[in-house]
Structure 1
Amino acid sequence: ALLLGAEIAAADGRTGEARRKLAEAVELARPQELRRPFAESGPWVRRSLREAPRPAARHSRPADGPTAADGPTGADGPPPVVEALSARETEVLRQAARMLSTEEIAAELYVSANTVKTHLKSIYRKLCVTRRSDAVHRAQDLGLL
């Protein structure tokens, strides 16, 4: 209900009210680790969460960093990660962070370039990004790298 109210408020131009309702929805979802309602609410949720300011104090992370099981971040954090990265995807992302090309990553991991491309597409989907540099920055923000 809060997500619907936030969407309606945002559509009516009441951004402050929309952000408050979205933040309240995130806080209510956190104890049960609910992520799907946010993922299924459409692009307006990601856009709203992305546009909100992100103070450093809101980014308290466990020692191992967040995973998909951590649930949605606050309304002033990045959009929720719906699915955790696999170990191989994390390794591909680490290599991408080193500024290696697709072919160089493939050689480092002893896989084909097409396998690396498949992992990168999956990483982009899971981190809600469209570019390699955005994936690296998002992973760093989430403490995955």
Structure 2
Amino acid sequence: LAGVPGDGGVTTPVRARACLLRAQIAAADGESQEAHRHLGEALALARPEELRRMFAESGPWVHRTLGQDPRWARSHGWLIPRTPARTARTARAPQADGQPAVVEPLSARETEVLRKAADLLSTEEIAAELYVSANTVKTHLKSIYRKLCVTRRSEAVHRAQDLGML
């Protein structure tokens, strides 16, 4: 990781990921000052392009580290995706386009899969966390799409947020 060049030849996401990994290693070794320094570098590199995913995928240590100092949380609010304000509506309320919000209610397992999808987990990661096959997760996702009248994961998450389901 130390060999990743500081500027030319390597893309910003790769450089930011390298800094984030160095921060995680330092945190695991108990070197909090070094971890904060590398995390700060990663955040500085990621901020212009708002590269959020790598931080979400790095696990809870990033949130704990940012939460240790309120100034960090305030100065890095860009990590939270900007979405329009969501309002809870009843599942039977028609949408602006006249379609029902939900064709039928989601099962408990479908809701679980949808929550994992909202956390930006891949199909394989969801399968591993729920102890099912990737094909089972895909089947649940197709059912979720049908019930929420959407065609993509992001649409399903946004629709579920609009409906107050997440």
For normalisation by structure 2, the TM-score amounts to 0.44
Return 5+ residue gaps in structure 1 as ranges.
1-55
Q: 1:111 aligns with which of 132, 136, 149?
A: 132
Q: Which amino acid aligns with 2:104?
A: E
Q: 1:134 aligns with which of 149, 155, 160?
A: 155
Percent identity, aligned pairs only?
80
- Report which of the two structures shows the higher radius of gyration computed on alpha carbons: 2
> Is residue 91 from structure 1 mapped to residue 98 from structure 2 by the alignment?
no
Partner secondary structure for residue 114 of structure 1: helix
Q: Find the counterpart in structure 2 of residue 26 from structure 1.
A: none
Instruction: Return the alpha-carbon distance in structure 1 between the equivalents of residues 140 and 157 of structure 2.
Output: 14
Instruction: Return the alpha-carbon distance in structure 1 between the equivalents of residues 96 and 118 of structure 2.
Output: 27
Q: Which amino acid aligns with 2:107?
A: S
Q: C-alpha displacement at 1:72, in angstroms?
A: 2.6
For normalisation by structure 1, the TM-score amounts to 0.50
Q: C-alpha displacement at 1:75, in angstroms?
A: 4.1
Contact residue 126 and residue 137 of structure 2 kept, 8 A: yes
Matches within 5 A, 1:25-104: 59=87, 61=89, 66-67=90-91, 71-73=92-94, 75=96, 79-104=100-125
Return 5+ residue gaps in structure 2 as ranges.
1-84
Higher relative contact order, chain-length normalized (CA < 8 Å, sep 6+): 1
Instruction: Return the alpha-carbon distance in structure 1 between the equivalents of residues 95 and 155 of structure 2.
Output: 20
